[in-house]
Chain A
Amino acid sequence: MLLDRSRTGRSGRRDRDDPIVNRWALLAVPPIAFLVAFFLIPLIVVSLRSVTDFPRPAGDALANYGRFFDSAANVRVLGNTFWVAALSTVVCLALGYPYAYLMNIVRPRLAGLLLIAVLLPFWSSLLVRTYAWQVILRDTGIINTFLLDMRLIDEPIPLIRTTLGVMLGMSQILLPFMVLPIYAVMRRIDPEYTRAAANLGAPPFAAFRRVFLPLSLPGVLAGSLLVFVLALGFYITPALLGSPKDTMISQFIASAVQQRLDWGIGSTMAVILMGLTLTVLFVASRFIRLRDVFGSFEES
């Protein structure tokens, strides 16, 4: 099915009777087997452990969930996770939309360069990038040293271990996931629409606001959803660049499992995070077609 898109167009119907195409479908078996073995099964194991694995003998199956919600710290961190994810989404959108717009209006060659620039972060590991931000942001880092040397400030301004630091680190990593879906949608907007708007008397900004922006909204929603969902699971960046106040739920999961060896509560937190993420996706799916989000590059 996936492989045959280009041949059968959108209907994708013909391939069912076509033996040659069905043989190609066998290619999908290894990845599916991989996903089942290393993703689906562990997921089931984790879900089961959240209702069976207790540090001391406990009463009902939902004891771990009770434990989780009894702790105010847990709930606060959960809330903070959503707050940080929302904030990163807003930051990525504010940076990503104009960036995608720029890519869309410049010559193809320059657009290619801009595309490479936004993909650059993918070429180094997340850890390396996050440590690089540390070098830049810490009290003895590049920015503070420079400002101190210039005598613009008397003592280091707090950059690292702040929400600002977390935002910088996270949005750099997440920006491509915002830019690419928006750009893909923008490229599919027929420039004739903007011309028609101008022809009907719309000055450039009105044409943008009334015609181009609404037509690019599917990309905005897709990118925002992608960034938000990815941000919910962030862990290393807030740990290295944020303050304890910026702790996210994934860090709690890691410390529960690795330091306290409390697999029960770790699994519980994982299931809660997953449940909330699925809820977000479900609510979003009422407004947009999820296929557009995760398949947004296929047609561009």
Chain B
Amino acid sequence: MTTAGRPIDGSSERLDRPALVLRGLEKSFGDVPAVDGVDLEVRQGEFITLLGPSGSGKTTTLRMIAGFTRQSAGTIEIDGADMSQVPPYRRDVGMIFQNYALFPHMTAAENIAFPLEMRRASRSEIRRRVAEALALVKLEGFGGRYPRQLSGGQQQRIAFARAVVFHPRLLLMDEPLGALDKKLREALQLEVMHISRQLGATVIYVTHDQEEALVMSDRIAIFNRGRIEQLGRGEDLYDRPVSLFVADFIGDSNILRGWFERDGDGGWLVRDASRWRVGAAATARAALDGDRAAALVVRPERLRIVDPGDAGAAAAGANTVEASVRDVLYLGSIRKYELTLPDEQTATVRQQVGGNERVWQPGARVRLTWAVDDEVLVSDPGGRPSRPGDVPTAPLA
């Protein structure tokens, strides 16, 4: 009944090809590019989140996959089949809309039955599968209610049931939890994740809530200005951001901006009178060609606070910077320090609360130290145009 002749019970063997391939996907509205060259390969059963600031092209990408918007350039393949000429009603892709788009004139059960009716399933089949879908989202008794008689969370579940009941090849969700309050959102995050896994569904999920992305996804695609800035597991993005944008967007980070100087396999980041060692691995990953503006990224829990006179702090394999404590925030299991660096930049440190760790008071002069292995080097396109002390037009002597 569906395009690929796939039976609606989805029993056809999942071939080893990717569930979705986007190649050079572009979309412009007038002269303005909304999506500007997106490449993405999604494995069968994978849960991928598109994460990025408002206006970065996440929704537009999703709409092109669903077929509501035609791409300006590039290709979309679903289960190995080119979708360029396929209208949305034959793409066999389930979508959960931000406002759910439940049909207001149909009951919950009729809404869920709709995609099955469109696929000409038999009456008994429809009845059975609607009941299954309602059970799946734990709303057994609610089939006879109209959407307006359901709470936001219940509507969300019905929308989910309607989108999965026909076992689509892909499940697209555009900020499906955006309209719900925090508590319900967190409960549903886990539920959506578990049910998707249970169904083996391939999911493309859009959000601009990074916590949600980290909790739910196998991999996250960070969108920025219509492009994927970085694609990877949450840990990869957190521990090895490839750009200042990603470092800034995912989690809290301490960013030391300066001028990178190559030295053997590694190098140094220089700012004014300070210089910090950059390890070979970080240098290789950053792939910076020669000397240029760059930044070091260190996560707050990787920084340690020590006495300014602590000689051991500057041991091999560690970097240090002087600072003064501005605020101390006690947050239960952790203590958060806000510090000021010599040139008025700020730093954040997270200290595990154990009971016998040293606590610093606001105003204390301290030294921050971190292992060279814990820092990440990224290029800094908006950074200083030249090496410190030089005139801008002559960066190198």
* A-B complex is real: yes
Query: Is A30 in contact with chain B by the CB < 8 A criterion?
Result: no
Q: Which of B93, B104, B114 contacts A215 (CB 8 A)?
A: B104
Q: Provide the residues of chain B in CB contact with A200, threshold 8 Å.
A: 89, 94, 114-115, 118, 162-163, 166
* Minimum Cβ distance to chain A for residue B316 (Å): 59
Given contacts A195-B88, A196-B95, A206-B118, is CB(A201)–CB(B101) below 8 Å?
A: no
User: Which residues in B have their C-beta under 8 angstroms from that of A195?
Assistant: 66, 68, 88, 97, 101
Asked if A192 contacts B114 (CB within 8 A), the reply is no
Q: What residues on A are CB-neighbors of B99 within 8 Å? A: 190, 192
Interface residues of B in 103-145 (CB under 8 A from A): 103-105, 114-115, 118-119
CB-based contact B88/A198 at 8 Å = yes
Give the A-B contact count at a CB cut-off of 8 A: 62
Interface contact B115-A193, CB-CB below 8 Å: no
Are B105 and A199 interface neighbours, CB within 8 A?
no
- CB pair A210–B114 under 8 Å, yes or no, is yes
B388 within 8 A of A: no
Interface size class for chain B? Answer: 20 to 34
A203 at the interface (CB under 8 A from B): yes
What interface size band does chain A fall in?
Answer: 10 to 19
Assess whether B383 is interfacial by the CB under 8 Å rule.
no
- Inside 8 A of B97's CB, which chain A residues have their CB? 192, 195-196
A91 on interface, CB distance cutoff 8 Å: no
Point out the residues of chain B lying under 8 angstroms from A199, CB to CB. Answer: 66, 68, 88-89, 91, 93-95
Whether the pair A190, B101 counts as a contact (CB closer than 8 A) is: yes
A192-B99, A199-B88, A200-B115 in contact; A214/B105 too (CB < 8 A)?
Answer: yes
A201–B104 touching, CB < 8 Å:
no
Q: A272 near B: Cβ within 8 Å?
A: no
B87 at interface, CB cutoff 8 A: yes
Question: B105–A201 contact, CB under 8 A?
Answer: no
Residues of A within 8 A of B114 (CB): 197, 200, 202, 210
The B59-100 residues at the A interface (CB cut-off 8 A) are 66-68, 87-95, 97, 99
Q: Mark A206-222, 1 if CB is under 8 A from B, else 0.
A: 11001100110000000
Q: Is the CB of B103 within 8 A of A201?
A: no
Q: Across the interface, which residues of B come within 8 angstroms of A214, CB to CB? A: 105
Closest to A194 in B: B101
| A201:B2 contact, CB within 8 angstroms | yes
Beta-carbon nearest neighbor of A211 in chain B: B103
Residue of A nearest to B101 (CB): A196
Q: Which residues of B contact A198 (CB under 8 A)?
A: 67-68, 87-89
Q: How far is the CA of A253 from the CA of B57 in the complex (A)?
A: 67
Name which of A190, A193, A200, A206 has the most chain B CB atoms within 10 A of its CB.
A200
A-B contact pairs, 8 of them (CB 8 A): A192-B101, A193-B103, A200-B89, A200-B115, A200-B166, A201-B119, A204-B89, A215-B104
What is B's interface to A at a CB cutoff of 8 Å?
2, 66-68, 87-95, 97, 99, 101, 103-105, 114-115, 118-119, 162-163, 166
- Which residues of A are interface residues toward B (Cβ below 8 A)? 190, 192-193, 195-204, 206-207, 210-211, 214-215
